[in-house]
């Protein structure tokens, strides 16, 4: 019974981490003034490939879709935006805090597994 409670707590903890990391936060779009200012600051070029384009996708740099600070906005061509969204860009790094939390969860799950195996034997 105790093991079941531990597993439920871990699952709830993992769900809360997903919400905190911006994946399930409410999406808010950048205001038109922020979009125009971003394009002007980037000299009408994609922030990644530096090519001129007439079609823009506006990306939240930190991945938090509810953070609409002007400093968090970048204008990307649709190709680069798709690559960034799918994690296909080499220079993109995950936050060290996120990785530390994931490793911590894996260690906890491993310890629980070892405990469960020890009880069964």
Taking the domains of the chain in order of start, what are their residue ranges?
A: 1-21+95-121, 27-93
CA distances from 113 to 86, 96, 118 (A): 32, 26, 9
20-24, 64-68, 115-119 — which one is most confidently predicted on average?
64-68
pLDDT of residue 82: 92
Q: What tokens were used for 109?
A: 């799950």
pLDDT of residue 100: 78
User: Does the structure show a pLDDT above 60 at 120?
Assistant: no
Q: Is the pTM of this model over 0.75?
A: no
Q: What tokens were used for 52?
A: 């001129």
CA distances from 118 to 18, 26, 86, 114, 115 (A): 31, 43, 40, 6, 5
What is the second-level CATH architecture of the domain 27-93?
Answer: 3-Layer(aba) Sandwich (3.40)
| Averaged pLDDT score across all residues of the chain | 82
- Band of the pLDDT at 95, cuts 50, 70, 90? low
């Amino acid at each position: 019974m105790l093991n079941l409670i531990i597993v439920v707590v871990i699952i709830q903890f993992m769900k809360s981490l997903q919400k905190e990391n911006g994946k399930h936060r409410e999406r808010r779009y950048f205001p038109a003034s922020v979009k125009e200012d971003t394009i002007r600051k980037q000299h009408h070029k994609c922030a990644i490939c530096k090519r001129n384009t007439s079609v823009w996708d506006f990306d939240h740099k930190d991945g938090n879709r509810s953070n609409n600070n002007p400093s968090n906005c970048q204008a990307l061509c649709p190709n680069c935006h798709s690559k960034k969204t799918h994690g296909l860009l080499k220079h993109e790094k995950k936050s060290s805090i996120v990785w530390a939390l994931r490793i911590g969860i894996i260690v906890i799950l491993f310890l629980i597994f070892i405990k469960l195996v020890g009880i069964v034997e």
